[in-house]
Amino acid sequence: MVANLGYSNVKAQASTTPPYIFATCICVAVGYISDRTQSRYLCLMGSYTLGLIGIIILWITVHYPHLSGVSYFAIFLAAAGYSAQAPIVGAWTSSNILNPSKRAAAIGLLTLFGSVGGGSIGSNIYISSEAPTYPLGFSLSVGATVLGAMIPATIHWYLMHKENSRRDDMQIDSTNVEALYSADELSEMGEESPLFRFIL
């Protein structure tokens, strides 16, 4: 993308550094806010939205070579948004799956899908013959963000919120639960424990 803005190879390589430095700062900041507030969904959607805005701006401005500055700014947004979402997805999954074996399997699957979708597929949909507008690459990026990330995350949040509300409505007395089950039994129940609440 940076090379297509008209920079020489050396300058293009050098110009890719600032967006990644910015992305690293945003990634750390969003991770800190997500952990501090325990609002994984909102931080995740904020990251997706930032990346989506960057991709859409870039998709539009690549048609206008005189707007290379705006395109470069959009690269900052896209890199930051898409970089910041990955740690939140991992943290959200880890905090809501208490069983170590299930958690390890879930993290492994997330890593697999992320590598296939983000690394393998994502790096090959921007076909050089379609440069510099990349209609296929941009349309798939936008579609994957909305249909493959934002909507599933929203459904995931809704189902966990609904389950938390159901458990709250049961008005379970923690003393009675602890009398019925031992600490080991409650631990083995993991997220199925009536005392457990999903982190949203």
Q: How far apart are the first and last CA of the chain?
A: 35
Q: Stretch 32-36: mean pLDDT, rounded?
A: 93
Q: Of the candidates 119, 115, 138, 118, which has an alpha carbon nearest to the alpha carbon of residue 4?
A: 138
Q: Is the dihedral of CA 83, 8, 135, 117 positive or negative?
A: negative
Task: Assess whether pLDDT exceeds 70 at residue 7.
Answer: no
Residue 14: its pLDDT value, please?
Answer: 74
Residue 100: its pLDDT value, please?
Answer: 86
3-192: CATH topology: Growth Hormone; Chain: A; (1.20.1250)
Residue 123: its pLDDT value, please?
Answer: 72
* Range with the poorest average pLDDT among 19-33, 37-51, 97-111, 121-135: 121-135
This prediction's pTM: 0.87
Task: Assess whether pLDDT exceeds 80 at residue 69.
Answer: yes
- Highest mean pLDDT among 40-44, 116-120, 187-191 belongs to 40-44
Q: What is the pLDDT of residues 79-124, one digit of tens each?
A: 999 999 989 999 999 999 988 888 999 998 888 887 777 667 777 8
- The H or E element containing residue 189 is helix 183-189
Domain boundaries defined on the chain: 3-192
Q: What is the pLDDT of residues 143-158, one digit of tens each?
A: 999 998 999 999 999 9
195 — pLDDT class (breaks 50, 70, 90): confident
